[in-house]
Amino acid sequence: MPVDSQQWIDRFLHHLQTERRLSANTCNHYQRDLAELLAFYRKAGINGWAQLDTHAVRQFAALAHRRGLSGRSIQRRLSAVRSFYNYLLRERQVTSNPAHDVRAPKSERRLPDTLNVDDIARLMGGAAGDGLALRDLAMLELMYSSGLRLSELVSLNLEDIDLAEHMVRVTGKGNKVRVVPVGTKALAALRAWLQVRPAQLAEGESAVFTGRRGQRLGRRAVQQRIKRWARQQGIPGDVHPHTLRHSFASHLLESSGDLRAVQELLGHADISTTQIYTHLDFQHLARVYDAAHPRARKSDKQ
């Protein structure tokens, strides 16, 4: 019995999970993007993955652009298509990769949201108390102290934290492991949380951060708790986990000027990803220049 188009997607997703060992979140992104490709494929009357050519892939990208998707989102979709076809090539189902030379339209690069140092202090100061408040403070301090992604935070296990050496072992994108330092305040918050954590532990649970039922805390729960503390402290804007990571990078770069070190700490494979924080730093310098330099602005009196 021949394998149909959906079954090849299912096989590819299984390959991502078992052979490449990608995170569940990454696999979900691939699944959504390939579901869109399959819907396009069927509507276009294409019969078999070998019939999808470069022109069709460009049409697929153009359709997403007309629907308002950003260049970054389209690029992610195209990356999923390229990876899928590389798998089909390996399985000898196709003879070429039609997405190989297709590029997404460029979109304006949005600068990440950050908090200033005073807002960070207000946020950390608000998450005070006992029990779950200690947990929340430990999460906030650790994300800001070490620049962790949300997925990295929720996947932390007890053996990943070395309190004596002030280090945490993090598994990032592509299952790449890095070891990053933990600041004094984050260490104190972690110790306080770990002292009360065993009382709320489900049997066999190794997660550092657990919920009321003693099970590993989920991504959505972390997002909600951070928003709650930010609202409670009157911090404007949409504060989310990545805001703390962005703030970590911006503040560290502003103080040190060491772009390579920030790249390593963030776990960026490409330094061009880290360079966006130099734009944030330049904006700060430009504001200082405009406010302080006697010839920074033209006089209103001409």
**What is the per-residue DSSP string for 230-263?**
HHHTT--S---HHHHHHHHHHHHHHHH--HHHHH
Q: Tell me whether residue 144 is one of the annotated catalytic residues.
A: no
d(CA 5, CA 46): 10
Work out the angle between the directed axes of helices 5-18 and 24-43 (0-180°, nearest 10).
Answer: 170
Element (H, E) at 171: strand 167-171
Active site residue 106: no
Does the active-site annotation cover 173?
A: yes
Tell how far CA 179 is from the center of its chain.
17
245 is catalytic: yes
Spot the catalytic one: 169, 173, 219, 240: 173
Q: Is 284 designated active site?
A: no
Q: Which two tokens stand for residue 301?
A: 């009196």
Candidate list 149, 166, 219, 228, residue with the active-site label: 149
149 a catalytic residue: yes
Question: Residue 207's beta-bridge partner residues?
Answer: 157
Burial environment of residue 151 by CB neighbours within 10 A (0 to 12, 13 to 18, 19 or more): middle
Any residues with CB less than 8 A from the CB of 103 and at least 6 apart, and which?
Answer: 75, 78
Residue tagged 């009360």 (tokens): 196
Q: Per the residue annotation, which of 77, 225, 245, 251 is the catalytic one?
A: 245
The catalytic residue positions are 149, 173, 242, 245, 268, 277
